[in-house]
Amino acid sequence: MDARQMKIKAAEAALEYVEDGMRLGIGTGSTAEEFVRLLAEKVAGGFRIQGVPTSERTARLCVELGVPLKSLDELPELDLTIDGADEVDPQLRLIKGGGGALLREKIVATASSRMIVIADETKVVDMLGAFKLPIEVNSFGLVATRIAVDKLAARHGLTGDISVRASGDGPFRTDGGHLILDASFGRIPDADALARDLNAIAGVVEHGLFIGIASLAIIAGPDGARKLGA
């Protein structure tokens, strides 16, 4: 089974949790896109859902495939969000934001009664941090914010490069017009404390640590999908 087939396996297993009539948060990334494709087939077959996309990219795919969409303001309380992740640890703590959608993803997931993560087994880690931690920041005061993040990291005993994400000739911009700092910490022994402290830095809009948000992860490997959590 190749990487794409594993993503499809995870997405298929997640689809079983989607019920007719649900208000559904729809994640971003290559795994979430496999989910959107399967969801579109169900919708074409008469299944009714109302989706809230977590990015412009996901919104475009949903429109293209005929998945009905609403804004989060129209549907501020959701039944379920299904989304991918860059890392998942045994406590279902996540790193997200590899595609830059972390802010909307976190807003949508926390507006949902439940978040289910779909991922292939390469995303499962004992300790978060091998994947660069995305930190969404306001472009005003970028240098000051980066210094503040660097000092905070040092207080947490974390070292590693913190760089502004690039795209083409310029910086990457999120759907909200912000910048992303990618922090190469390697290992984050106390992700809960780091998450809390990052949110206290004024220039930080949001970070990619999702703590206590997901209740189930569907992890696909060569032998099929297994579940972490309930």
Ligand X SMILES: O=C[C@H](O)[C@H](O)[C@H](O)COP(=O)(O)O
Question: Would you list which residues are annotated within the binding site for substrate?
Answer: 28-31, 83-86, 96-99, 123
**Which residue's CB is nearer to ligand X, number 133 or number 157?**
133
CB of 136 to ligand X, least distance (A): 10
**Which residue's CB is nearer to ligand X, number 159 or number 199?**
199
Structure tokens of 116?
Answer: 């289910």
Stretch that binds ligand X, among 97-105, 141-149, 199-207, 215-223 (CB under 6 A): 97-105
Q: Please tell me whether residue 96 binds ligand X under the rule CB under 6 A.
A: yes
Q: Please tell me whether residue 28 binds ligand X under the rule CB under 6 A.
A: yes
Contact (CB, 8 A) for 175 and 55: yes
Residue of 119, 116, 92 lying closest to 105 (CA atoms): 116
Number of residues assigned to the chain: 230
**Closest residue to ligand X in the complex (CB):** 29
Residue of 104, 114, 89 lying closest to 29 (CA atoms): 104
Separation CA 6–CA 2 (nearest Å):
6
**Which residue's CB is nearer to ligand X, number 32 or number 148?**
32
Of 14, 39, 82, 102, the residue at the interface with ligand X (CB under 6 A) is: 102
Measuring CA to CA, how many Å separate 35 from each of 58, 64, 158? 11, 14, 35
Q: Please tell me whether residue 97 binds ligand X under the rule CB under 6 A.
A: yes
Contact (CB, 8 A) for 174 and 101: yes
Does residue 105 carry a catalytic annotation? yes
Stretch that binds ligand X, among 9-17, 27-35, 59-67, 73-81 (CB under 6 A): 27-35
Strands 23-26 and 80-83: parallel
Q: Please tell me whether residue 29 binds ligand X under the rule CB under 6 A.
A: yes
Amino acid at 168: G
Residue of 229, 189, 193 lying closest to 213 (CA atoms): 229
Task: Considering the candidates 34, 87, 105, 206, report the single residue annotated as catalytic.
Answer: 105
What is the gyration radius of the CA atoms in the chain, in angstroms? 17
Q: Please tell me whether residue 101 binds ligand X under the rule CB under 6 A.
A: yes
Q: Please tell me whether residue 25 binds ligand X under the rule CB under 6 A.
A: no
CB of 141 to ligand X, least distance (A): 23
**Which residue's CB is nearer to ligand X, number 101 or number 201?**
101
Task: Determine which helix (DSSP H) or strand (DSSP E) holds 209, and give its type and residue range.
Answer: strand 209-210
In the beta sheet, which residues pair with residue 207? 135
Of 23, 26, 31, 108, the residue at the interface with ligand X (CB under 6 A) is: 31
Binding footprint of ligand X on the chain (CB under 6 A)? 27-32, 83-86, 96-102, 105
Query: Residues with catalytic annotation?
Result: 105
